[in-house]
């Protein structure tokens, strides 16, 4: 079973944003922090980003992605954050209940005082850019190819064309070259590079891989396997320029055509999304429009640098902890009053402990059925009797009252809830 | 006669466009950089261009079939294909600890190849 049913902070996703949020939530005083990851290990997409260049800003060190991830994961684990792997969050309610499907625990409902959404983003696919033609084998997003080549040990193909000059596309151009493939060229529909200039230099120019701006793919040739693509030049409105078509033989097409924040869960929780970023609207503490639900990293908007994702995670984690602590203090101030044995209801439903320190509080209730014999009306906290009152009988038509006295304050202050039972004497 | 070279600094993600004036194979002026790293990069890029190399090696009995590795410092650019070929020969046994040396002094460069992450043994 999970260690707790109610957590101060629950983080969804263990990429750099989520891990940073969990770290800072703990440091800011949250007691129970849980991080949920759907994959078999912590780290998110950094685990497949084996190139270096991570951490230059935050760690003053030039690390590969997996090393950057591990640095922060180790810090998080040293702070005793609870980890749940192989677990999908199926639903989140605006009241911050989470419904999980876990390999180990089955279907579980938990409650959070604050939630940090850190689901990251996913790649746009062929479907979103509408390339006509057959649907042959050999068309992958750059990130899928990256996972195969760097983690699982499969090569997607030998003769490669890349559509889109996003960073992952350029990095995969170099990576495929390292692994013996021939990258014919990179096509970019815009008139400018879409990724970082440094990647143009160290991923394309260093290996003489041509980049063609203002070019896209008109159609894909090949029925079972990609055999070629037809490239075409576009004008400033992205219309094909007739007569510029060129058939490029290849067996693999990688797409690096943008990332979309992954916000299905956010939507279910009632989080409002900005149509421009596709991520939640957030305030300066990274709180969404739903109180107690925060968001950090690529789930909010797509970042250039992982260092900045971590920084966003730190902010969101700190804010989430502060929210959870304020809520916990408010909860601690009140004691709920529970109708127990033979009691239908109790008014008031909860009491402010600090009031009892100043004055007596009268509890009123009705019984569920007549008991025509002497009874005790007992107020207890589950273990200890706090006060009791004798009645000769109780009947539903006659309201029962019992008074909690200021002298009971010390006992009530320690209780999580009070229950009223009516038992025969 | 001064020669002008234009290239992009890759020292950090900012990617400054550098203009480098060369005379007799010596850098005489660098403009376009926004920090000292740009000067060092221009110097290195015109005399001894180097790049970090990151790739994978086969790992036996590991949680994954591959272990990501990287050169602890940038290696001379013309040597990258040979460096990759050397690294490809390496096979390691799980478990492995992050930053442990998987290949020492690759091709006599004085540069070690390190594990990019820890890798536990299979299940």
The minimum CA-CA distance between A262 and chain B, rounded to whole Å, is 25
**Is B56 within 8 Å of A65 when comparing Cβ atoms?**
no
A199 in any annotated domain: yes
**Is B116 within 8 Å of A66 when comparing Cβ atoms?**
yes
**Is A70 within 8 Å of B117 when comparing Cβ atoms?**
yes
The minimum CA-CA distance between A106 and chain B, rounded to whole Å, is 21
Question: Which candidate in B5, B12, B13, B62 is best for mutational testing of the A interface (most A CBs within 10 A)?
Answer: B13
Q: What is the DSSP string of A393-412?
A: -B-TTS-EEEEE-GGGHHHH
- pLDDT value for A1: 61
Residue A77 vs residues A3, A29, A80: alpha-carbon distances, Å: 15, 16, 5
**Same-domain pairing of B69 and B39:** no
Of A50, A56, A64, the CB nearest to B12: A56
For residue A367, give its domain range: 340-424
- pLDDT value for B97: 98
Chain B residue with Cα closest to A150: B56
Contacts of B65 in chain A (CB under 8 A): 152-153
Query: Domain holding B72: CATH number?
Result: 3.10.530.10
The minimum CA-CA distance between B28 and chain A, rounded to whole Å, is 23
Sheet architecture: strand order including A246-249: A215-221, A228-233, A246-249
**A343-347 and A350-352 strand pairing:** unpaired
Q: Count structural domains, chain B.
A: 2
Contacts of A151 in chain B (CB under 8 A): 64, 66
**Same-domain pairing of B28 and B74:** no
Q: Name the pTM for this structure.
A: 0.87
For residue B28, give its domain range: 3-47
The minimum CA-CA distance between A32 and chain B, rounded to whole Å, is 27
**Is A178 within 8 Å of B55 when comparing Cβ atoms?**
yes
Query: Domain holding B20: CATH number?
Result: 2.20.25
ipTM of the complex: 0.91
Quick: pLDDT tens for B18-39. 999 988 888 888 999 999 888 8
Task: Return phi, psi of residue A273, to 5°.
Answer: -110, 145
Quick: pLDDT tens for B71-84. 999 999 999 999 99
Q: Count structural domains, chain A.
A: 3
Q: Are A216 and A238 in contact (CB under 8 A)?
A: yes
A296 in any annotated domain: yes
Quick: pLDDT tens for A48-95. 999 999 999 999 999 999 999 999 999 999 999 999 999 999 999 999
Sheet architecture: strand order including B3-8: B3-8, B17-23, B26-31
A1 in any annotated domain: no
A257, A285, A300 - which closes a domain: A257
Closest CA to A187 of A130, A253, A141, A242: A253
Chain B residue with Cα closest to A202: B10
**Same-domain pairing of B59 and B108:** yes
Across the A:B interface, residue pairs with CB atoms under 8 Å apart total 74
Could you tell me what percent of chain A has a pLDDT over 90? 91
Q: Give the mean pLDDT of A181-195.
A: 96
Of A63, A150, A196, the CB nearest to B13: A196
**Same-domain pairing of A222 and A368:** no
């Amino acid at each position: 079973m999970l260690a707790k049913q109610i957590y101060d902070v629950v983080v969804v996703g263990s990429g750099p944003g989520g891990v940073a949020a969990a770290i800072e939530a703990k440091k800011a005083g949250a007691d129970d922090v849980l991080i949920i990851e759907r994959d078999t290990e912590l780290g998110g997409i950094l685990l497949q980003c084996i190139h270096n260049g991570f951490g230059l800003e935050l760690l003053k060190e030039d690390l590969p992605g997996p090393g950057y991830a591990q640095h922060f994961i180790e810090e998080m684990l040293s702070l005793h954050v609870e980890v749940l792997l192989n677990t999908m969050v199926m639903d989140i309610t605006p009241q911050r209940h989470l419904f999980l499907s876990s390999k180990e625990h089955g279907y579980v409902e938990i409650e959070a005082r604050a939630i940090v959404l850190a689901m990251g983003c996913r790649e746009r696919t062929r479907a979103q850019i509408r390339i006509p033609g057959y649907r042959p084998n050999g068309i992958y997003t750059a990130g899928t190819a990256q996972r195969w080549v760097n983690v699982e040990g499969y090569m997607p193909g030998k003769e490669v064309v890349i559509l889109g000059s996003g960073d992952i596309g350029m990095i995969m151009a170099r990576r495929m070259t390292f692994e013996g493939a021939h990258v014919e060229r990179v096509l970019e529909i815009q008139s400018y590079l879409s990724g970082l200039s440094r990647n143009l230099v160290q991923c394309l120019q260093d290996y003489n891989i041509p980049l063609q701006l203002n070019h896209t793919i008109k159609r894909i040739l090949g029925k079972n396997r990609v055999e070629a693509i037809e490239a075409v030049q576009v004008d400033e409105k992205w219309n094909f320029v007739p007569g510029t078509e060129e058939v490029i033989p290849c067996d693999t097409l990688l797409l690096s055509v943008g990332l979309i924040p992954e916000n299905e869960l956010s939507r279910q929780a009632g989080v409002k999304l900005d149509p421009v970023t596709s991520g939640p609207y957030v305030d300066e503490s990274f709180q969404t429009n739903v109180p107690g639900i925060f968001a950090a990293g690529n789930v909010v908007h797509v970042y250039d640098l992982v260092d900045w994702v971590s920084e966003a995670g730190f902010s969101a984690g700190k804010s989430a902890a502060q929210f959870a602590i304020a809520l916990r203090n408010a909860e601690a101030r009140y004691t709920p009053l529970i109708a127990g044995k033979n009691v239908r209801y109790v008014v008031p439903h909860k009491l402010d402990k600090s009031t009892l320190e100043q004055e007596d509080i009268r509890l009123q209730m009705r019984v569920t059925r007549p008991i025509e014999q002497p009874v005790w009306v007992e107020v207890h906290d589950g273990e200890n009797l706090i006060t009791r009152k004798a009645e000769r009988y109780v009947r539903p038509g006659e309201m029962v009252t019992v008074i909690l006295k200021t002298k009971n304050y010390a006992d009530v202050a320690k209780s999580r809830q009070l229950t009223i039972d009516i038992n025969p004497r | 006669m001064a020669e002008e070279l234009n290239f992009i600094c890759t020292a950090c993600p900012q990617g400054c466009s550098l203009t480098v004036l060369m005379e007799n194979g010596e850098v005489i002026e660098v403009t376009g950089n926004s920090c000292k790293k740009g000067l060092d990069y221009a110097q290195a890029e015109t005399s001894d261009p180097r790049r970090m190399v990151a790739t994978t090696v086969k790992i036996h009995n590991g949680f994954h079939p591959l272990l990501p590795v990287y050169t602890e410092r940038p290696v001379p650019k013309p040597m990258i294909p040979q460096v990759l070929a050397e690294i490809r020969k390496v096979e390691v046994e799980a478990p492995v600890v992050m930053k442990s040396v998987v290949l020492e002094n690759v091709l006599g460069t004085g540069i070690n190849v390190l594990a990019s992450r820890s890798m536990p043994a299979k299940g």
